[in-house]
């Protein structure tokens, strides 16, 4: 299981890199396919970029950048959130590592 998480993390990093380089559209299909394979195996990976953040979100480990405010948003994802779905139940496997800022 640990190795699958490592693979998902690496693929997420490739995904991030491709976004940075503005070449994601060329590889998007392949990446979507990879994430779909993981999902079939029960591993659900989410990139919470742009999502609202508050301190009740235990699915992420946040680094608060700048001063705290009322409208905290996830502005960078270093590691994705990974859940495992098995026998109808879902469990958090990996907390996302994120940067949050008041926007």
Partner 1 sequence: MTPVNFGIDLGTTNSLIAKYENGNLVIFKNPIGHKETLASVVAFRNDRILVGDKAREYLLKDAVNVFGSFKRRMGTDERFYVVNIDENITPIELSAYVLKELKQFVHTGEKPQAAVITIPASFDTMQSNATKQAGKQAGFQEVFLLQEPIAASLAYFNNKQESDDHNGHWLVYDLGGGTFDIALVKIADGEMKVIDHEGNNFLGGVDFDLMILEQLVVPEIVAQTGIQDFEEQLTTAYGKYEKLYYQLLYKAEELKKELSGQAYAELDFAATIEGKEYDFLITITQEQFNQVIAKRVQETITMLQAVLDRNHLTTADIKQLVLVGGSTFIPYVQEQLTAYSGITINKNIDPTTAVAVGAAYYAANKYYESSANASDEGVVNVDELLEDLEQEVNLEMKASELEIILSYSKMSKEQEEVLLLKVNGDYLNYRYRITRKDGGYDTGFIKLRSKFTEFLPLLPGVNNEFSLRIFDEEHNEMKSLMQEISIVQGQYNISGQPLPRDICIEVDDKENNTTKLELVFEKNSVLPLKKTLYREISKTISKGSEEKIIINILEGDRYARPLSNLTIGCIEISGKDLKSDLVKGSDIELQLLMSDDRELSTEVFLVMTQQEFKNVFSIAAKQVSLIRLKEQFEDLEVEIRRTIKSFNYEDNDVWAMQANQLLEDLLDHKKDLYKLKDNDKSDKKYVIAEAVHRTAQAYDKIGGNERLEYLHAEYLSAKEYVELQLPMADYEKDKMVTKFQQILNGESQLLRTRNPSILLKTIERLNQLAWDILYNTNSYLMVRYEQIKSSDASYFKNYGAAQSLFKMADKALENEKFFEFRQHVYNLTHFLKQEQGIQRSTDFKGTGIG
- Check binding of 71 to partner 1 (CB under 8 A): no
* Distance (Å, whole) CA 82 – CA 26: 25
Kindly tell me which residue out of 12, 15, 57, 74 binds partner 1, with binding defined by CB under 8 A. Answer: 57
Q: Residues 23, 28, 41, 66: which binds partner 1 (CB under 8 A)?
A: 66
Residue 84: how many other CB atoms lie within 10 Å? 17
Among 24, 42, 22, 41, which Cα is nearest to 32's?
A: 24
- Does 43 bind partner 1 (CB under 8 A)? Our answer is no
Q: Are strands 96-102 and 60-65 parallel, antiparallel or unpaired?
A: parallel
Q: Which of 22, 58, 71, 87 binds partner 1 (CB under 8 A)?
A: 58
Q: Residue 90 interacts with partner 1 (CB under 8 A)?
A: yes
Structure tokens at 28: 């998007």
Kindly state the smallest distance separating residue 96's Cβ from partner 1, in Å.
Answer: 10
39 close to 82: Cβ distance less than 8 angstroms? no
List residues binding partner 1 (CB under 8 A): 17, 20, 29, 32-33, 36-37, 55-59, 61-68, 75-76, 78, 81, 83, 85, 88-93, 95, 97, 99, 101
């Amino acid at each position: 299981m640990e190795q699958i998480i490592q693979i998902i993390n690496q693929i997420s990093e490739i995904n991030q890199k491709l976004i940075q380089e503005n070449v994601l559209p060329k590889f998007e299909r392949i990446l979507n396919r990879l994430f779909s394979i993981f999902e079939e195996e029960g591993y659900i990976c989410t990139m919470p970029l742009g999502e609202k953040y508050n301190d009740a979100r235990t699915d992420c480990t946040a680094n608060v950048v700048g001063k705290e405010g009322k409208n905290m948003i996830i502005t960078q994802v270093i590691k994705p959130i990974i859940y495992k779905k098995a026998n109808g139940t879902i469990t958090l496997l990996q907390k996302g590592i994120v940067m949050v800022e008041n926007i």
